[in-house]
Chains A and B, each alone.
Chain A
Amino acid sequence: DAKTTQPPSMDCAEGRAANLPCNHSTISGNEYVYWYRQIHSQGPQYIIHGLKNNETNEMASLIITEDRKSSTLILPHATLRDTAVYYCIVRVAREAAGNKLTFGGGTRVLVKP
């Protein structure tokens, strides 16, 4: 079974880039990597997703290694409002059995002034 691991916590200085790693060493060909974040007392919020290529949107960048065994979410200029728990999720498409989701335990990011 796929396994997704994340560091439990990290601090980041306001205005600096925050690099959040995710290890998904059992990933294979057709698995997407998704990132969501959850600010205290709210539902999770979509950030970005990717399959093989690096992706960028207005919120963040996603860097996926060539072997796809790990990825890094980059928040280019962290603000205090980026303080949240960040989840890395791998979605596996299975032919007959539908999609399987494997959740990382989440990284609690604290952005400090």
Chain B
Amino acid sequence: KAGVTQTPRYLIKTRGQQVTLSCSPISGHRSVSWYQQTPGQGLQFLFEYFSETQRNKGNFPGRFSGRQFSNSRSEMNVSTLELGDSALYLCASSLQGLLREQYFGPGTRLTVT
């Protein structure tokens, strides 16, 4: 079956703009989680959605938000972009929940200039 897909794969934005990233989970997976990965901070957890509800949240400012649709597809939005938001944003889906045998997508590489 198809894996987790993320679009777009690469994105360049300017400081102050906002961006929306998309994630399509593996069919049947209702849990979708988002992570940020940077060379300096490593992997950090953003949030997890399960059946359209945010179930877990990491320690990121309110500029980072997300949502999940009834078909389990998820979007992540970052408003008022800062240079420090440049990162690889990873989406993962799971049948069971946060971290439990999650399958990761290839990520979206966001560059903020």
Contacts and interface: CB of A to CB of B under 8 A. Distances in A.
Determine if chain A interacts with chain B: yes
A46 to B, nearest CB: 5
B102 interface: yes
Nearest to A90: B99
Interface residues of B, number: 22
Instruction: Specify the main secondary structure of chain A where it touches its partner.
Output: strand
Interface stretch (A17-25, A75-83, A96-104): A96-104
Given A44-B43, A101-B58, 18 more contacts: A34-B99, A36-B102, A43-B4, A43-B90, A43-B103, A43-B105, A43-B106, A43-B107, A44-B90, A44-B104, A45-B104, A91-B98, A98-B55, A99-B48, A103-B45, A105-B42, A106-B42, A106-B43
Interface of B: 4, 42-45, 48, 55-58, 90, 92, 98-107
